[in-house]
Amino acid sequence: RVDTVETGRVVLADGRELPADAVVVGIGARPATGWLAGSGIALDPSGAVTADERLRTSLPDVYAVGDCASYPSARYGERLLVHHWDNALQGPRTVAATITGADTGPYDPVPYFWSEQFGRFVQYAGHHADADELLWRGDPAEDTWSVLWLRAGVPVALLAVGRPRDLAQGRKLIETATAVDPARAADPSVPLKAAVR
Ligand SMILES: Cc1cc2nc3c(=O)[nH]c(=O)nc-3n(C[C@H](O)[C@H](O)[C@H](O)COP(=O)(O)OP(=O)(O)OC[C@H]3O[C@@H](n4cnc5c(N)ncnc54)[C@H](O)[C@@H]3O)c2cc1C
């Protein structure tokens, strides 16, 4: 068990020290939906409730939102299971609209999360599984930098560390599928909104 991580070394809980330049921490989560067995609510092999584009389950009048539910994303062309706070906040809006008859359309937001890691403000928007180009904006050895993923020149995801303006502008480009000029988008002194092709 790790006690502390310092530059160049890791100190374990039992006091041993290991030399390390980097530590990779893998954390996973699986929906605890075993209690739904036999209910008529369809689950995928990972246990996620397979909701439709309005977050309806396979059982009439039963909806699923948040960490337990995957939904078909037309934006990304695949079913997404998003384990982020923002997804748990946005999904219920679609469900409430559907229940009350004020249909607001399919649920298909640009996924988003923020976190604070080692004193740095980390934000991510989008889904980069199908990206074909990765652009660095700034040097990851510095305190602030971003990574932008493109597909056919169009931003599909962005990770920003201490660059909330990149996140805000990049998120809009992702939402509107607006192509950018890669050379300008890779220049951290150029605002992302000014890198539009
Ligand atoms: C350590 C950690 C760090 C995270 N950090 C971030 C972050 O920095 N940014 C971010 O965006 N997201 C983060 N997340 C993810 C975020 O917390 C989740 O996406 C969000 O809480 C999901 O909300 P939810 O309502 O879908 O599920 P939950 O918040 O898990 O709520 C589900 C509730 O259902 C209850 N429950 C389960 N089974 C039953 C049952 N059978 N009967 C009754 N009640 C039941 C549970 O006890 C729980 O209270 C983090 C998660 C973890 C674990």
Q: What is the pLDDT of residue 52?
A: 98
41 lies in the same domain as 77: yes
Q: Which two tokens stand for residue 91?
A: 């999904």
Say how many Å lie between the CA of residue 170 and the centre of ligand 1.
27
Instruction: Kindly give the residue spans of alpha helices, DSSP state H, lying in the chain.
Output: 85-100, 164-175, 182-185
Plot region of 126 (φ>0 → left; ψ -120 to 50 → alpha; else → beta)? left
Instruction: Give per-residue pLDDT as tens, 65-84.
Output: 999 999 999 999 999 999 99
Instruction: State the closest ligand 1 atom to the C-alpha of 86, by its place in the atom list counted from 1.
Output: 11
**DSSP labels, 37-72:** TTTT--B-TTS-EE--TT-B-SSTT-B--GGGEEEE
d(CA 10, CA 6): 6
137 lies in the same domain as 177: yes
183 lies in the same domain as 163: yes
The CATH number of residue 52's host domain is 3.50.50.60
Domain hosting 85: range is: 34-100
Whether 12 is in a domain gets the answer no
82 lies in the same domain as 133: no
Instruction: Give per-residue pLDDT as tens, 122-162.
Output: 999 999 999 999 999 999 999 999 999 999 999 999 999 99
Per the structure, the count of domains in the chain is: 2
117 lies in the same domain as 190: yes
Average pLDDT, the chain: 95
Q: What is the pTM of this model?
A: 0.86
Tell me which of 68, 100, 132 is where a domain ends. Answer: 100
The CATH number of residue 136's host domain is 3.30.390.30
123 lies in the same domain as 96: no
Strands 120-126 and 112-117: antiparallel
Instruction: State the closest ligand 1 atom to the C-alpha of 67, by its place in the atom list counted from 1.
Output: 26
Residue with tokens 């934006």: 75
Q: Which of 196, 177, 179, 195 is nearest to 187 (CA)?
A: 195
Nearest-CA residue for ligand 1 atom 35 is: 32
